[in-house]
């Protein structure tokens, strides 16, 4: 018996609005998820790639500060890799390699904008997107399936909580985690870049990048979070949802790689046949004109070794990835590149964009039908 048992008392306080439930569900969900040691490790580990990219930002600003942009540009034009400055090497080699259109000397501000945008894209696309898949895979499958298993849906739907608040609350749990591993480190990188740059006015020159980071993070978060929650809502066994989540990423990645490789093999075959045809022609030409008529092939500059994955993620591949729509990872990358202004070809962006919108719409439909299905059964 408590010392100060006051019995049952009516409650006459002011109640919060119905939207308040979203915050309550999200807060409790995050607190429960955070008790997982693996999640804490994953989120901590997710910040480590930021150190590598921070070094690149620092290296670029040092080059600008010491007036070495021109030198780097000459090196890039000469086809030399710039591995000495890490990821920046890949980015700069492409960014600085092309001659300025009007022949003017290199503009530090516009170069900075381009280099930063590519660095941020590479950061969000390469390591963070993979880490996002891992973190979401750790948390999302349990969010709804555990509610179904423990019949916790009764806790929500016998109270003034609608399906919308429930879904938004669960989305917010994952949204916060996704923001913690993508948006926050990217914004921190931008802030670091401003701090190590020669002038704080750099913040004004790159004002749009934080907005693009937020938009790119949302692009990353919304379809993935909804898809993960949709899987979670389809089963009371979180293991099955977890398997489905990782299987989707892996299978789509493998399918994308297989189809892209098949394209490359086909292209190589075409090139080989055309070279043979050209050699045949030159043979006949030599026979006819008695002089050397063939032209030595020009070797394109390759991406620096060790950073090919990152350089591809930074949007340095000029080829259109026609199978990107098939894989969530690649589709997200193309759309993010479009947001950062790096991929501007509409025919490259449209299929992945449609693919992501379709995944989002289907996931919403599944969630809307499934979250209160036991109550209707």
* 373 binds other proteins per the rule CB under 8 A: no
Integer Cα distance of 125 and 313 in angstroms = 6
The contact mask relative to other proteins for 90-119 (x = CB under 8 A, - = no) is ------------------------------
Q: Is 24 in the site for other proteins (CB under 8 A)?
A: yes
Q: Which stretch binds other proteins (CB under 8 A): 16-24, 88-96, 304-312, 336-344?
A: 16-24
Selected binder of other proteins within 30, 32, 134, 205 (CB under 8 A): 32
CA distances from 115 to 63, 317, 340 (A): 12, 15, 11
Task: Give the separation between CA 290 and CA 285, rounded to whole angstroms.
Answer: 7
- Torsion on CA atoms 228, 230, 232, 236, rounded to nearest 10: -170
Please give the structure tokens belonging to residue 202: 């750099």
Question: Does residue number 25 form part of the binding site for other proteins (CB under 8 A)?
Answer: yes
The residue among 111 and 235 lying less far from other proteins, judged by its C-beta, is: 235
Within 10 angstroms of residue 156's Cβ, the number of other Cβ atoms is 20
Residue 168 within binding range of other proteins, rule CB under 8 A: no
Taking Cα atoms as reference points, which of 248, 274, 266, 273 lies closest to residue 329? 248
What is the closest distance, in whole angstroms, from the C-beta atom of residue 8 to other proteins in the complex? 5
Which residue in the set 44, 160, 286, 357 belongs to the binding site for other proteins (CB under 8 A)? 160
Exposed/middle/buried for residue 77 (C-beta within 10 Å: 0-12, 13-18, 19+):
middle
Token digits of residue 259 = 């189809």
Q: Would you give the end-to-end CA distance of the chain in angstroms?
A: 41
Closest to 333 measured CA to CA, from 360, 320, 314: 314
Residue of 79, 98, 100, 151 that binds other proteins (CB under 8 A): 151
Shorter beta-carbon distance to other proteins: residue 317 or 372: 372
Q: What is the rounded CA–CA span in Å between residue 284 and residue 26?
A: 75
| Nearest to other proteins of 155, 268 (CB atom) | 155
Judged by beta carbon, residue 9 or residue 305, the one nearer other proteins is: 9
- Number of residues engaging other proteins in binding (CB under 8 A): 42
Member of 60, 116, 153, 249 binding other proteins (CB under 8 A): 153
Phi, psi of 10 (to 5 degrees): -65, 155
Among 40, 162, 302, 357, which residue sits at the site for other proteins (rule: CB under 8 A)?
162
Among 93, 125, 147, 337, binds other proteins (CB under 8 A): 147
Could you give the residue ranges of the DSSP H alpha helices within 290-345? 308-313, 328-339
Binding-site member from 51, 98, 155, 204 for other proteins (CB under 8 A): 155
Binding site for other proteins (CB under 8 A): 1-2, 4-13, 15-18, 20-21, 24-25, 28, 32, 35, 146-147, 150-162, 372, 375-377
């Amino acid at each position: 018996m408590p010392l100060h048992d006051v019995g049952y008392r009516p409650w006459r306080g002011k109640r919060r609005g119905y939207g308040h439930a979203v915050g309550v569900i999200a807060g409790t969900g995050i607190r429960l998820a955070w008790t997982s040691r693996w999640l804490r490790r994953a989120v901590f580990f997710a910040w480590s790639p930021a150190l590598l990219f921070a070094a690149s930002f620092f290296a670029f600003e040092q080059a600008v500060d010491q007036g070495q942009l021109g030198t780097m540009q000459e090196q890039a034009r000469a086809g030399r890799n710039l591995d000495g400055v890490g990821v920046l090497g890949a980015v700069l080699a492409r960014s600085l390699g092309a001659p300025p259109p009007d022949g003017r000397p290199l503009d530090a501000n516009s170069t900075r904008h381009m280099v930063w945008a590519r660095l941020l894209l590479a950061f969000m696309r390469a390591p963070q997107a993979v880490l996002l898949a891992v973190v979401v895979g750790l948390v999302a499958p349990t969010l709804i399936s555990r509610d179904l298993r423990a019949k916790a849906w009764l806790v929500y739907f016998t109270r003034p909580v609608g399906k919308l608040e429930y879904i938004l609350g669960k989305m917010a749990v994952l949204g916060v985690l996704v923001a913690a591993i993508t948006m926050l480190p990217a914004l921190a990188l931008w802030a670091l870049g401003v701090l190590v740059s020669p002038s704080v006015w750099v913040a004004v020159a790159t004002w749009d990048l934080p907005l693009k980071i937020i938009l790119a993070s949302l692009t990353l978060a919304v379809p993935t979070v909804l898809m993960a929650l949709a899987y979670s809502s389809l089963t009371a066994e979180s293991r099955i949802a977890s398997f489905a989540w990782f299987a989707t990423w892996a299978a789509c990645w493998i399918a994308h790689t297989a189809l892209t490789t098949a394209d490359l093999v086909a292209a190589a075959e075409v090139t080989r046949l055309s070279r043979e045809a050209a050699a045949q022609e030159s043979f006949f030409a030599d026979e006819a004109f008695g002089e050397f008529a063939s032209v030595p092939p020009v070797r394109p500059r390759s991406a620096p070794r060790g950073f090919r994955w990152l350089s591809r993620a930074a949007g340095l591949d000029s080829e259109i990835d026609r199978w990107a729509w098939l894989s969530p990872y690649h589709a997200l990358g193309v759309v993010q590149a479009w947001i950062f202004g790096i991929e501007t070809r509409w025919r490259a962006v449209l299929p992945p964009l449609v693919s992501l919108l379709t995944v989002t719409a289907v996931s919403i439909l599944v969630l809307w039908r499934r979250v209160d299905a036991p109550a209707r059964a």
